[in-house]
Amino acid sequence: MRLTIILLHTSLTSKTTLFLTAAILSVSALAADFNQTQYLADQADAKAQYSLGLAYYNGQGVRQDYSKAAKWYQKVANQGDADADADADAQYMLGLMYDQGEGVRQNNATAKEWFGKSCNNGLQVGCNKFQQLNAK
């Protein structure tokens, strides 16, 4: 009986250790991925900049920070044709942020401008939001 309890306890300890090791490795992988994304974003990679904006906007892997999200979205949006999809998505997100006042001062005219740019870059949801603001 005593041996069974020791083995059971050891097994539980081993499982816990394995779980914690896997969790630590997972966090390390996320940190390495974030560092790589940060590096690429600093090199003006539009997809990496958009990814950082999204991470800060949603609080994925970092503390949620709307002003940092807006900063990264702005960098993408100002690149022009660097990456059309990331560009239109970033412009749309800036429109949302200005519309809601998240990380930036709420401003309907600026929101409308960003939605219009995203629409011009082929993002239908940007066109829809532009029309909604136009109707107000």
Q: 15-56, pLDDT tens digit by residue?
A: 444 344 444 444 444 455 878 888 998 998 989 999 999 999
Angle, vertex CA 61, rays to CA 47 and CA 79, nearest 5: 20
> Which pTM was predicted?
0.74
Nearest to 68 by CA among 87, 53, 47, 49: 53
3-class SS shares of the chain: helix, strand, coil, % to 5: 80, 0, 20
End-to-end CA distance of the chain: 76
87, 77 contact by CB (below 8 A): yes
C-alpha dihedral sign at 25, 26, 29, 34: negative
